[in-house]
């Protein structure tokens, strides 16, 4: 064989191999006909031990394998799951849960009250991200096989919603203390983990649990969740047909629309300056409510929204989201952009020459342009900003321990109580100076000791008080973006970045 | 030969010890608050302090390092702060992905560099000039840009290869090859260009040497002259470039693994460094340095075989 012939046959072999490989790649694409759901999640799961998992996007990994006590629907309704009924006593300090009968974990162990007791106490006592959600729990008692009582040291308005998330996830008692819980989940969920086709931190494959008690929640034969932390990778994956649905960000909307993908949006995150030092301990100026109001007037939320977020959102002056009980529509316009008014307020407070403040530089997370714009707008009214850049976890630590008087933050808007627990309670993580006043204390007490309409009214009064006292200078609420292709129907989960696994179904 | 090998091995051990010590101290001094990362934004400062104590991070740095070293000497690289996974397991699980990319890239780069370098040196003229221009572009183009272009063309538009992800060879051999095609292409282009140009220069240079002219005058067949005499003598230069590129490709794998979302040690290194997961970063660093030492050792051996003078240096 001559050299030329050998080269030719080599080239043919390469082309043939390429075609075989490309053909193979085409076949590995997703398809509704096999009832497989393949989605990408933007966050990495630390493991299947619920006590180590932060509630939020990560719930999606746990939902296939574990049931929760209560389920929260896409309409924000709390409906039965492992608990069929729940009731508080009159003092709102004892919650009684009636449990579902005839449910078994996938290791064959029967689900009962003792399993709930073990799970809740373990989550409370493990120093994990969920411990704070159960801080008010004094005791969990199995009254009988199907009844559990949770005794609280004080009413906890967040408990029922918490029990519909990671906190209420129930692991088989036999697996709770096993060394392999992080990699081998044992629950009673609609699916079981297919370990052979799972690589921790990359791909999780779940196959239907044939004995599941509610077939309406198990609509697929297989679910594959890929961990894709990079938004470009998620976009490429959905555009190339590797996945059927995923979360992206506002800048990807145009590309998604032009690729024929279905774009779902809902108002999700709020972005603003959290003024921690309301007593003026570090920056005396911020102890004056007029100065904090001046900060609110100085920021042009509309302009930030239109230039940095393609106008996809609503400028606002309140912390709470539209889905929450605390929302008051009028408060969105409480502090319109008015730099002259800001200067007047600063002058009235004795700061006509302005003052200096140091901000943690989170521009790596929230964007350089946002930091540049906010710094410029504050400086325009005389508030001189110094940005301090440290490694991100250090900066978070310093912020949480009261190292900064003020910080820019962008965070999802959950239930009214979740926002209160994050920003308002004296022990809240985003209240490092433990601010409170008589009005806040009495409204918090009213929220804790009431329900339904009375509680909503107290939440709204608290919202009005916080806006008036300018605890926070919110800029805008912005759209969260979720994409899906035509093979899947998905309902967004309000107050969450990614939908629950139950919100997906094959397209008809 | 034995002394030569022992010296190279000794240098490798010194490099490993120095690197892990420096990395440990830097990680510890950076003070990345891993307890905060584990507990999330809602945790109180007391919870964070309790978690630090639980992880042993309240101990002085020398004590922490001593514990890590003693563990490592017993073959225990510890447990990830974040995922509770054994570091050795996590690192070995992912090393296969990175090694697949880097080793295939090295082989592909080596083979194509020989073909292109020899062609340029032998043909000269416009072929040589064209290959040089292409090589300049190949070296200058940033790997991440090449990766994005490859994804857009071959994954998103043509759908020939997957845009993200990795398939284990034991699951599906063709799927494995398919998942590596674009990452290997993205990472190899600079390597091929660099090594091909080294080989080309070395061969042209050798072509003018006395002994080559003598060989030519003895009517040695051109192919034998090319393969046995010229290529063998020109290879060390290209091998040196390839060994440097192995280190470069390991770093390049970090970027490529992020873009293609491949579960390799590069992506693990990035995520564990960002979260301050010291045991995991140390595991990754130990493995990467060991791989660099081994590859350099193998290339030294290859050089010694190709050119016996090396052994006496």
What pLDDT score does A200 carry? 85
CB A208 within 8 A of CB A190: yes
Averaged pLDDT, B134-154: 87
Residues A462-479 pLDDT 10s:
999 999 999 999 999 999
A9 class by beta-carbon count within 10 Å (0-12 exposed, 13-18 middle, 19+ buried): exposed
From first CA to last CA, the distance across chain A in angstroms is 58
Give the best residue of A203, A240, A402, A410 to mutate against chain B (max B CB count within 10 A): A240
Whether B160 shows a pLDDT value over 90: the answer reads yes
State the average pLDDT for chain A. 91
CB contact under 8 A, A230 and B259: yes
Query: Could you read off the pLDDT of B6-35 as tens digits, one per residue?
Result: 888 888 899 999 999 999 988 887 665 788
How much is the ipTM here? 0.79
Give every CB contact of residue A378 below 8 A, 6+ residues apart in sequence.
A295, A298, A299, A357, A384, A385
DSSP class of A52? G
Residues 151-180 of B with CB under 8 A from A: 151-152, 155-156, 158-168, 171-172, 174-175, 177-178
pLDDT at A217: 92
Residue A114 has pLDDT above 70, yes or no: yes
- Which residues on chain B are in Cβ contact (under 8 Å) with A49? 84
Mapped to the 3 state alphabet, what secondary structure does B73-89 carry? HCCCCCECCCCCCEHHH
pLDDT band at A459 (very low <50, low <70, confident <90, very high): very high
Please tell me the distance in Å from B136's CA to the nearest CA on chain A.
25
Q: What is the mean pLDDT of residues A275-293?
A: 96
Q: Give which of B240, B263, B249, B254 is closest to B291, Cα–Cα.
A: B249
What pLDDT, on the 0 to 100 scale, is given for residue B32?
59
The mean pLDDT of B71-85, rounded to a whole number, is: 89
As a whole number, the mean pLDDT across chain B is: 85
Q: Is the pLDDT of residue A356 over 60?
A: yes
Put simply, the answer to whether A22 touches B45 (Cβ < 8 Å) is: no
Interval B216-226 mean pLDDT? 78
- Give the model's pLDDT for residue B310: 60
> What pLDDT, on a 0 to 100 scale, did the predictor assign at position B206?
80
* Range A367-376 average pLDDT: 94
Residue range B166-194, pLDDT digits in tens: 988 888 899 999 999 999 999 888 778 88
Q: Which residues of B touch A412 (CB under 8 A)?
A: none
- Is the Cβ of B11 closer than 8 Å to some Cβ of chain A? no
Q: Do B263 and A127 touch (CB under 8 A)?
A: no
Nearest to A393 among B37, B156, B271 (CB): B37
Residue B233's pLDDT is: 77
Task: Give the pLDDT mean for B148-154.
Answer: 93
> Cβ A52–B84 below 8 Å, yes or no?
yes
Give me the percent of chain B exceeding a pLDDT of 70: 96
CB atoms within 10 A of CB B86: 17
Residue A18, pLDDT > 60, answer no
Query: What chain B residue is nearest to A47 in terms of C-alpha separation?
Result: B83
Mean pLDDT, range A218-247, rounded to an integer: 95
Report DSSP state, residue A157: T
Q: Which of A129, A239, A401 sits opposite B45 (nearest CB)?
A: A401
Q: What is the mean pLDDT of residues A178-184?
A: 89
Residue B249 binned pLDDT confidence (cut-offs 50, 70, 90): confident
Q: Residue A22: pLDDT above 80?
A: no
- Could you tell me if B19 and B289 are in contact, meaning their C-beta atoms sit under 8 angstroms apart? yes
Asked if B189 contacts B146 with a C-beta cutoff of 8 angstroms, the reply is yes
The predicted pLDDT at position A7 comes to 39
Give the mean model confidence (pLDDT) for residues A145-157.
96
- pLDDT interval class at A34 (50, 70, 90): low
A273 within 8 A of A374, measured Cβ to Cβ: yes
The answer to whether B30 faces chain A, any CB pair under 8 Å, is yes
User: Looking at beta carbons, which residues of chain A come within 8 Å of B39?
Assistant: 127-129
> Do A425 and A431 touch, CB atoms closer than 8 A?
yes
Chain B hits for A240, CB-CB cut-off 8 Å, are 151, 155-156, 159, 162-163
% chain B with pLDDT above 90: 26
Q: How far is B200 from chain A (nearest CA, A)?
A: 21
Nearest to B85 among A200, A202, A397 (CB): A200
Question: What residues of B are in contact with residue A230 (Cβ under 8 Å)?
Answer: 258-259, 261
B221 pLDDT above the threshold of 90 = no
Q: Which of A236, A397, A430 sits opposite B163 (nearest CB)?
A: A236
A449 has pLDDT over 80? yes
Minimum mean pLDDT range among A23-37, A335-349, B160-174? A23-37
Mean pLDDT of A180-192: 94
Of B32, B44, B163, the CB nearest to A429: B44
Interface probe, candidates B30, B148, B162, chain A, greatest A C-beta count within 10 A: B162
């Amino acid at each position: 064989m001559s050299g030329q012939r050998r080269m030719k046959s080599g080239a043919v072999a390469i082309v043939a191999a390429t075609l075989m490989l490309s053909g193979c790649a085409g076949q590995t694409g997703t398809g509704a006909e096999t009832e497989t759901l393949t989605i990408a999640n933007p966050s990495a799961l630390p493991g299947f031990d619920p006590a180590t998992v932060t509630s939020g996007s990560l719930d999606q990994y746990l939902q296939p394998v574990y049931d929760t006590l209560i389920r929260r629907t896409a309409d924000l309704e709390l409906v039965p799951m492992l608990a069929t009924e729940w009731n508080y006593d009159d003092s709102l300090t004892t919650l009684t849960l009636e449990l579902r009968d005839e449910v078994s974990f996938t290791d064959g162990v029967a689900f009962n009250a003792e399993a709930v007791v073990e799970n809740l106490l373990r989550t409370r006592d493990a120093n994990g991200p969920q411990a704070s959600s159960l801080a008010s729990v004094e005791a969990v008692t199995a009254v009988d096989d199907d009844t559990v009582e949770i005794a609280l040291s004080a009413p906890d308005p967040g408990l029922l919603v918490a029990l519909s998330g990671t906190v209420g996830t129930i692991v088989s008692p036999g697996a709770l203390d096993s060394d392999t819980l992080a990699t081998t989940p044992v629950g009673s969920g609609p699916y079981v983990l297919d370990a052979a086709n799972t690589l921790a931190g990359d791909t999780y494959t779940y196959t239907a649990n044939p004995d599941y008690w509610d077939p309406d929640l198990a609509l697929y034969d297989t679910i594959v969740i890929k961990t894709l932390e990079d938004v470009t990778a998620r976009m490429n994956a959905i555009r190339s047909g590797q996945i059927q649905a995923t979360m992206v960000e506002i800048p990807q909307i145009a590309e998604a629309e032009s690729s024929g993908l279905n774009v779902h949006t809902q108002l999700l995150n709020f972005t603003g300056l959290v003024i921690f030092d309301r007593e003026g301990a570090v920056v005396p100026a911020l102890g004056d409510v007029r100065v904090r109001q001046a900060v609110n007037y100085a920021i042009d939320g509309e302009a930030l929204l239109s230039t940095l977020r393609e106008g996809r959102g609503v400028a606002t002056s309140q912390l709470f989201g539209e889905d929450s009980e605390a929302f008051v529509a009028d408060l969105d316009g409480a502090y319109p952009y008015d730099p002259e008014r800001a200067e007047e307020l600063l002058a009235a407070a004795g700061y006509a020459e302005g003052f200096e403040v140091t901000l943690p530089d989170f521009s790596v997370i929230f964007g350089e342009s946002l930091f540049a714009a906010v710094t410029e707008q504050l400086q325009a009214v005389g508030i001189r900003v110094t940005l301090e850049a440290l490694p991100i976890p250090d900066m978070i630590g310093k912020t949480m321990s009261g190292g900064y008087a003020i910080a820019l933050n962008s965070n999802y808007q959950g239930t009214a109580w979740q926002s209160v627990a994050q920003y308002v309670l004296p022990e809240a993580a985003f209240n490092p100076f433990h601010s409170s006043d008589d009005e806040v204390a009495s409204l918090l007490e009213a929220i804790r000791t009431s329900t339904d309409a009375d509680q909503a009214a107290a939440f709204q009064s608290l919202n009005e008080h916080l806006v008036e006292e300018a605890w926070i200078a919110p800029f805008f609420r912005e759209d969260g973006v979720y994409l899906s292709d035509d093979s899947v129907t998905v309902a967004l989960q309000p107050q969450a970045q990614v939908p629950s696994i139950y919100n997906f179904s094959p397209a008809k | 030969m034995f002394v030569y090998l022992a010296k190279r091995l000794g240098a490798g051990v010194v490099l490993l010890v120095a690197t892990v010590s420096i990395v440990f101290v830097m990680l510890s001094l950076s003070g990345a608050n891993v307890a905060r990362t584990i507990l999330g934004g809602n945790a109180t400062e007391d919870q964070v302090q309790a978690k630090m104590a639980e992880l042993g991070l309240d101990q002085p740095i020398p004590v922490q390092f001593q514990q890590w070293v003693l563990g490592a000497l017993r073959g225990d690289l510890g447990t990830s702060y974040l995922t509770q996974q054994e570091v050795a397991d996590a690192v070995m699980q992912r090393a296969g992905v990175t090694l697949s990319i880097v080793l295939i890239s090295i082989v592909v780069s080596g083979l194509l560099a020989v073909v292109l370098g020899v062609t340029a040196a032998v043909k000269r003229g416009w072929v040589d000039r064209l290959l040089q221009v292409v090589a300049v572009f190949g070296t200058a183009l940033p790997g991440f840009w090449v990766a994005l272009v490859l994804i857009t063309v071959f994954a998103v538009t043509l759908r020939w290869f997957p845009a993200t992800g990795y398939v284990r060879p034991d699951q599906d051999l063709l799927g494995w090859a398919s998942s590596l095609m674009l990452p290997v292409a993205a990472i190899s282009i600079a390597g091929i260009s660099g090594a091909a140009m080294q080989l080309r220069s070395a061969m042209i240079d050798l072509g003018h040497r006395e002994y080559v002219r003598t060989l030519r005058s003895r009517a040695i067949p051109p192919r034998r002259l090319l393969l046995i005499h010229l290529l063998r003598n020109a290879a060390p230069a290209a091998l040196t470039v390839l060994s440097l590129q192995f280190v470069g490709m390991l770093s390049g794998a970090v970027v490529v693994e992020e873009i293609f979302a491949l579960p390799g040690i590069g992506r693990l290194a990035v995520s564990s460094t960002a979260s301050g997961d010291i045991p995991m970063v140390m595991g990754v660093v130990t493995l990467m340095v060991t791989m660099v030492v081994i590859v350099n050792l193998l290339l030294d051996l290859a050089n010694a075989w190709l050119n016996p003078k090396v052994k006496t240096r």
